[in-house]
Chain A
Amino acid sequence: EADIYQTPRYLVIGTGKKITLECSQTMGHDKMYWYQQDPGMELHLIHYSYGVNSTEKGDLSSESTVSRIRTEHFPLTLESARPSHTSQYLCASSETRGNRQNIQYFGAGTRLSVL
């Protein structure tokens, strides 16, 4: 089982609130990712990081921001949540070297509902 943890697992909040979704991994992986997953749709990459102080936007435009101050921690923040942000958010990590770099290990996800 992958050692990557997301909190909270479920979150229901009102429009306009600021929220932070937490993601931590204990595998020492340099690469970390945030995906958005909606029912019946493919995973969409919204942010990724190749190491401390490195963050990039993914393919899907997102109003969220991320930070990477520590290797093991990759939080995602929404400054002002809207109903359109309702989705499942998945965090993942992967190795940087070796022949298993493509394998991403996922957390259990945070299911966000914005009312």
Chain B
Amino acid sequence: QKEVEQDPGPLSVPEGAIVSLNCTYSNSAFQYFMWYRQYSRKGPELLMYTYSSGNKEDGRFTAQVDKSSKYISLFIRDSQPSDSATYLCAMSRNQGGKLIFGQGTELSVKP
């Protein structure tokens, strides 16, 4: 069983929709949670970084962590065609520890 599970999609939504991307994990020791965005033929770039449970908002993006359910989410409000990319969740047990990545969810936002 993989430590981190992420639905690979693809997910297609119309412009302006609210998008919900999710990951589940099995190791309760994970404390640091990240979302990376990867455009086609590019490397991943950090989008959101959170520690422990709770919500973090940055513009149209909200990251949510529920450690009791071992579930993290990324919400994108008012989605734009420029949000079309693959979104990877990643997590770590401690500062400087190894990152465990999900498979990535491919998102397409149609104009």
Contact A42 B98 (CB under 8 A): no
Chain A residues, CB < 8 A from B4 = 42
Q: A42-B4, A42-B104, A43-B88 are in contact. Are A106 and B99 (CB under 8 A)?
A: no
Give every chain A residue within 8 A of B98 (Cβ-Cβ). Answer: 45, 59
- CB pair B95 A102 closer than 8 Å: yes
- Chain A interface category by residue count: 20 to 34
Task: Quote the shortest CB–CB distance from B110 to chain A (angstroms).
Answer: 21
Selected interface stretch from A12-20, A64-72, A79-87, A93-101: A93-101
Q: A26 CA to B41 CA in the complex, in Å?
A: 22
Task: Flag if A103 contacts B103 (CB, 8 Å).
Answer: no
In the bound complex, residues from chain B placing their C-beta under 8 Å from that of A6 are 43
Known: A99-B95, A109-B42. 17 other contacts (CB 8 A): A4-B43, A31-B96, A40-B104, A41-B103, A42-B104, A90-B44, A92-B43, A94-B96, A101-B96, A102-B34, A102-B49, A102-B92, A102-B95, A103-B34, A105-B46, A108-B43, A109-B41
